Amino acid sequence: MDEKNVDIHISRISNHHKFRSYGINKINILMPAAKISFSHVQAATAVPFVSVYAKEKRSADIFHKQIDNKLTAEEENVL
């Protein structure tokens, strides 16, 4: 996989945080730092996904965002 610079826009944008993972040069997650942790990219899949887990919120707040060239805003009710 070629290295990519990906922006993930999440509702209620606050801070800008960068993470690195398999084959992904830079992942920009736009959200308050206290509420997220970066997990991993599923390198085995044809189109990798990023899992972002909401911390200090409901434990069921887990969502996946497909990495491509057309990332859009996450659903307003995710967090």
Token pair for 32:
């308050």
What does pTM read for this prediction? 0.20
What does the mean pLDDT of the chain come to?
41
**Does residue 34 form part of some domain?**
yes
Tell whether 71 is covered by a domain: no
Tokens linked to 41 = 């990219």
Q: How confident is the model at residue 50 (pLDDT cuts 50, 70, 90)?
A: very low
Q: Is 47 helix (H, G, I), strand (E, B) or coil?
A: coil
| Structural domain includes residue 73 | no
Residue for token pair 């398999």:
22
Question: Per-residue confidence at 77, pLDDT binned at 50, 70, 90?
Answer: very low
Per DSSP, the three-state class of 16 is strand
**Enclosing domain of residue 61:** 5-66
Domain count, the chain: 1
